[in-house]
Amino acid sequence: MLDPRIQNWIWSAGWTELRDAQDRAIRAILHGSGDLIIAASTAAGKTEAAFLPILTRLGESDNNSLVLYVSPLKALINDQWRRLDDLTEQLGIPVTPWHGDISQSRKSRFLKKPFGCLLITPESLEAFVMRNGHGLAALLAKLEFIVVDEIHAFIGTERGKQLQSLMHRIETAVGHTVRRIGLSATLGDMRGAAEFFRPGHGPEVFVIESKAAHQELKVLVKGLVEVPQLETSPEIDCGIQVAKVVIARHMFETLRGTSNLVFPNSRGSVEFYADFLRQMSEERGCPNEFWLHHGNLSKEIREETEAALKQTELPATAICTSTLELGIDIGPVKSVVQIGPPPSVASLRQRLGRSGRRKGEAMVLCAYCVEDELSDPAGPSELLREGLICTTAMIRLLAGGWYEPVHANQIHGSTLVQQLLSTLSQYGAARVQALWDILCGRGAFGGLTKEQYLSLLRTLGQKEIIFQDPTGLLLLAPKGEQITAHYSFYAAFSTDEEYRIVTGSHSLGSMPITRPLTTGSFIIFAGRRWEVVEFSQQEKFVDVRPSKGGSVPKFDGGMGFGIHDRVRKEMREILRSSEPVPFLDAGGQRLLQEARKNYARMGLDSTWLLNMGNDVHLMLWCGDKVADTLVLALQARGVFGGNEGLSIHLRNSSEDSVKRALSEIASDADLTAKQLASAVQNKVREKWDELLPADLLDASYASACLDVAGMQQMLKETVCK
């Protein structure tokens, strides 16, 4: 079925067979006409599965057809196409990468003759669409395919909503439906991914899930207890946790001589481990095998690490953030190391896909879990060893083939602002109804009401971002033109902003805050609990005062990631069971047994409420979204506390008052997520949230962060049964 030149390329490359996904995708793309998602693990040949048949179509075409390839990373664009350079050259099909590192002369050649393969990120695509205005239709008239790589990285994010909108705007401009091909890791809910990929037509998207043979998984989880700093060593200063040094030394001894990926849970930890391991190499006279990789590093440093991993002559281990979680080709690694609980089961699976890529090799995971020594008093999180149990639960769910389902129904009001201004910049002006049709009526923001849309237009007018001329046309005001002219406009997202934490006139430091805050709620910072006295979204500060409440949990819910209900339920199954967990080391086994004894001692198999002094802990085994919603609902009834992961900690509360409040919440048919969101003081999370009217900001926040229906269902099943 493939072009003979492609067949020859495959033979020259020494392939002996096609992968399962490739075999099925070639048939579907060449013989089908609809949208398609190809889902397979890392290194399963998804890029070739899509492009061998697409290049066959382009090679046969005499009408200068075009394919648009959208990637979440510039590095992925550069990397993916090195493998196909020879092939596209043989076929006479030009390939044009399009991002900030590409010369203007190369871009100009494409604009003069727009055919072949255009490789681009969502941000560069935004700029491309805006700058070509009414000429976009002519430039993309021959567009046959839009290929989106790593679509799982887009779902539920601002960039994902931006991409949905851009694909629809392109189809609107060219006047016809463009076939979409998605490349994805295998997700727990591929139908949800299909609905994200073609909103409103998910059932029509054909999904190919790779049926590759089951791969062996080897796991070791090491449990450690953080102890007071009794050891003195030149390697240890007074500000470093002893457990981090123990982990670093163990990695030095076990990883040297092989290639690996190490995922701590913060950039600061990436820097610490990379520096410590480099110093150990120097002190022992060994060549350094440890490299670092995160988004704040320069392109040159990141590429140096990627090159070290790709070459196979010398061993190399990268200490990295999720920047190496996506599909950049870094060659095979022996093992993946996770320090602390992973962000999600899906993320852990993506990371693990980096190991065991050679035929017959197993995937290898080594995880380190650090727990504090128990203090008196200790809270449920410490007593139940939450970090270790969460990691264990995620590994068991992964082994069973479960991943978090897709949630792609957020409003993303911030991204709507960006797309509205972008569309006005693209066309110069637009009528109210036409703009509604492009963005909301048939576009990516179909969850909006007409009233919310008109309220947004009025607010942007009041803020002098847009204006309406006497004929009814909407145009960018000077302030709007200034916003859209800046290069930073093209990105739909911004990094989490840090808030200054102060108590009176004394500064405690700063940190990003992802949990919903209201006056009277509390945060955990610098090893203490603090009650929120005052909050300023505009000035980014939180005024706090010391709060009582026992020990501070080391493991904060989902480390800002948001743990799913299914993970918490699996954690409970582990705690209530007496079955061994074979992949825990001796330290992990001791912590597990300790946690199980505490679970039994507290009677958590038969109770969901714990009295601890003047405080109450709710043990409802729900995910963070439901727990955060319940905290807000309780605060609305005068019961204050916070989500601490395994427990909801309510201060100065009685059992009777809590039960009464929960019963009222469970049966309140008028309760809405938007109503609860109105009390949250840190709703400005996304880039353009500050430009939203209050009503739309509440709705946007509620759609992303709260789940009233899930909360009430959980209460009826747990509390009110």
Q: CA angle at residue 83 from 80 to 89, to 5 degrees?
A: 110
Task: Give residues with Cβ within 8 angstroms of 651, minimum separation 6.
Answer: 522, 547, 548, 549, 614, 615, 640, 641
Q: Give the predicted TM-score (pTM) of the model.
A: 0.88
Residue 504 sits in the same domain as residue 524: yes
Rg (CA), the chain: 27
Task: Give residues with Cβ within 8 angstroms of 135, minimum separation 6.
Answer: none
In a domain, 577, yes or no: no
Residue 652 sits in the same domain as residue 709: yes
- Lowest mean pLDDT segment, chosen from 15-24, 69-78, 421-430, 461-470: 69-78
Q: What is the model's pLDDT at position 555?
A: 47
Give residue 438's region: left, alpha or beta (phi > 0; psi -120 to 50). alpha
Pairing of strands 317-320, 179-184: unpaired
Residue 34 token pair: 């609809």
In a domain, 67, yes or no: yes
Residue 529 β-bridge partners:
524
- 16 class by beta-carbon count within 10 Å (0-12 exposed, 13-18 middle, 19+ buried): exposed
**Of residues 62, 3, 4, 9, the one with CA closest to residue 30:** 3
**pLDDT value at 535 more than 80:** no
Average pLDDT value for residue range 444-473: 96
CA 484 and chain centroid, separation = 26
Please give the single-letter amino acid code of residue 188: G
- The CATH number that applies at residue 457 is 1.10.10.10
**pLDDT value at 421 more than 80:** yes
- Dist. CA 337–CA 262, nearest whole Å: 4
Average pLDDT value for residue range 111-115: 90
- Dist. CA 206–CA 455, nearest whole Å: 38
In a domain, 578, yes or no: no
Q: What is the model's pLDDT at position 505?
A: 76
In a domain, 574, yes or no: no
- 669 class by beta-carbon count within 10 Å (0-12 exposed, 13-18 middle, 19+ buried): exposed
**pLDDT value at 417 more than 60:** yes
In a domain, 536, yes or no: yes
Residue 334 sits in the same domain as residue 446: no
Specify the higher pLDDT residue, 41 or 277.
Answer: 277
Task: Using alpha carbons, list the distances in angstroms from residue 507 to 544, 545, 642, 653.
Answer: 10, 12, 23, 30
Banded model confidence at residue 211, pLDDT cuts 50, 70, 90: low
Contact 401, 348 (CB under 8 A): no
In a domain, 399, yes or no: no
Residue 536 sits in the same domain as residue 472: no
Top mean pLDDT of 176-190, 474-488, 638-652 is at 474-488
Q: What is the model's pLDDT at position 222?
A: 97
Residue 257 sits in the same domain as residue 182: no
Tracing tokens 């000429």 back to the chain, one arrives at 135
Residue 336 sits in the same domain as residue 436: no
**pLDDT value at 214 more than 80:** no
Q: What is the model's pLDDT at position 236?
A: 44
- Dist. CA 58–CA 117, nearest whole Å: 9
- Lowest mean pLDDT segment, chosen from 241-255, 390-404, 429-443, 501-515: 501-515
Pairing of strands 615-618, 206-209: unpaired
- 491 class by beta-carbon count within 10 Å (0-12 exposed, 13-18 middle, 19+ buried): middle
Residue 573 token pair: 């199954």
Q: What is the model's pLDDT at position 179?
A: 96
Residue 444 sits in the same domain as residue 507: no
Task: Using alpha carbons, list the distances in angstroms from residue 404 to 366, 385, 398, 455.
Answer: 22, 23, 10, 35
What is residue 602's DSSP assignment?
T
Q: What is the model's pLDDT at position 210?
A: 82
Q: Average pLDDT of the chain? A: 88
- Dist. CA 259–CA 236, nearest whole Å: 26
**pLDDT value at 550 more than 60:** no
Pairing of strands 36-39, 179-184: parallel
Task: Tell whether the torsion through CA atoms of 397, 398, 404 and 406 is positive or negative.
Answer: negative
Contact 59, 93 (CB under 8 A): yes
Task: Tell whether the torsion through CA atoms of 281, 282, 285 and 287 is positive or negative.
Answer: positive
**Of residues 675, 673, 604, 665, the one with CA closest to residue 639:** 665
- Other CB atoms within 10 A of residue 89 CB: 11
Q: What is the model's pLDDT at position 558?
A: 39
Banded model confidence at residue 526, pLDDT cuts 50, 70, 90: low
Banded model confidence at residue 382, pLDDT cuts 50, 70, 90: very high
Average pLDDT value for residue range 98-111: 84
Banded model confidence at residue 511, pLDDT cuts 50, 70, 90: low
Residue at which a domain ends, from 161, 187, 209? 209
Q: What is the model's pLDDT at position 507?
A: 81
What are the tens digits of pLDDT across the range 467-476?
999 999 999 9
Residue 286 sits in the same domain as residue 233: yes
Q: What is the model's pLDDT at position 556?
A: 42
Residue 56 sits in the same domain as residue 100: yes
Residue 526 sits in the same domain as residue 667: yes
Residue at which a domain ends, from 322, 355, 373? 373
- The CATH number that applies at residue 113 is 3.40.50.300
**pLDDT value at 324 more than 80:** no
Residue 534 β-bridge partners:
543
In a domain, 86, yes or no: yes
Domain that holds residue 255: 217-373
**pLDDT value at 268 more than 90:** no
In a domain, 407, yes or no: no
What is residue 437's DSSP assignment?
I
Q: What is the model's pLDDT at position 397?
A: 95
- Lowest mean pLDDT segment, chosen from 20-29, 258-267, 371-380, 704-713: 371-380
Q: What is the DSSP string of 469-519?
A: -TTSEEEE-HHHHHHHHSGGGG-S--PPPEEEEEETTEEEEEEE--S---T
Q: What is the model's pLDDT at position 191?
A: 86
The order of strands in the sheet holding 260-263 is 217-226, 363-372, 335-339, 260-263, 317-320, 290-293
Specify the higher pLDDT residue, 566 or 352.
Answer: 566
SS (H, E, C) 545-574: EECCCCCCCCCCCCCCCCCCHHHHHHHHHH
The percent of residues above 70 in pLDDT, for the chain, comes to 92
Average pLDDT value for residue range 64-80: 83
Task: Tell whether the torsion through CA atoms of 645, 650, 654 and 657 is positive or negative.
Answer: negative
What is residue 335's DSSP assignment?
E
Specify the higher pLDDT residue, 611 or 519.
Answer: 611
Banded model confidence at residue 329, pLDDT cuts 50, 70, 90: low
**pLDDT value at 321 more than 70:** yes
Residue 428 sits in the same domain as residue 475: yes
Average pLDDT value for residue range 623-642: 94
Residue at which a domain ends, from 209, 238, 254? 209
Residue 200 sits in the same domain as residue 262: no
The percent of residues above 90 in pLDDT, for the chain, comes to 59
Total domains in the fold of the chain? 4
Q: What is the model's pLDDT at position 615?
A: 86
What are the tens digits of pLDDT across the range 662-697?
999 999 999 999 999 999 988 998 999 999 999 999
**Of residues 614, 608, 568, 576, the one with CA closest to residue 592:** 576
Q: What is the model's pLDDT at position 232?
A: 46
**Of residues 223, 219, 316, 236, the one with CA closest to residue 276:** 236
Q: How far apart are the first and last CA of the chain?
A: 60
